[in-house]
Amino acid sequence: MSEFQLSLASIEEVRQFVNAATRSPCEVDVCAGRYVVDGKSIMGLFSLDLSHPVTIRVHGGEGDREAFRQAVENLLAK
């Protein structure tokens, strides 16, 4: 499992994230506080408070996890 922080500040960034998660063979969880939603669900993401960075947990093979992380590299929280 890989874990990192993302900042999803705009609708376009959410759409980009969901597209990357959907293309990935990995399971992607998005955690905000005590809530966890499927990263492949745009409706699930919009149910979270995205005004703060969220934690992403990626489950899958090492190569697949790294490919997903690179796909969302520009969204990493700073």
pTM of the full structure: 0.91
Looking only at Cα atoms, what is the longest distance across the chain? 30
pLDDT of residue 8: 92
pLDDT of residue 1: 92
Provide the strand spans (E) within 7-71: 27-32, 35-38, 54-59
Using CB atoms within 10 Å of the CB of residue 67, give its burial: 0 to 12 exposed, 13 to 18 middle, 19+ buried.
Answer: middle
Contact 14, 6 (CB under 8 A): no
- One digit per residue, the tens of pLDDT, for the chain of length 78 reads 999 999 998 999 999 999 999 999 999 999 999 999 999 999 999 999 999 999 999 999 999 999 999 999 999 876
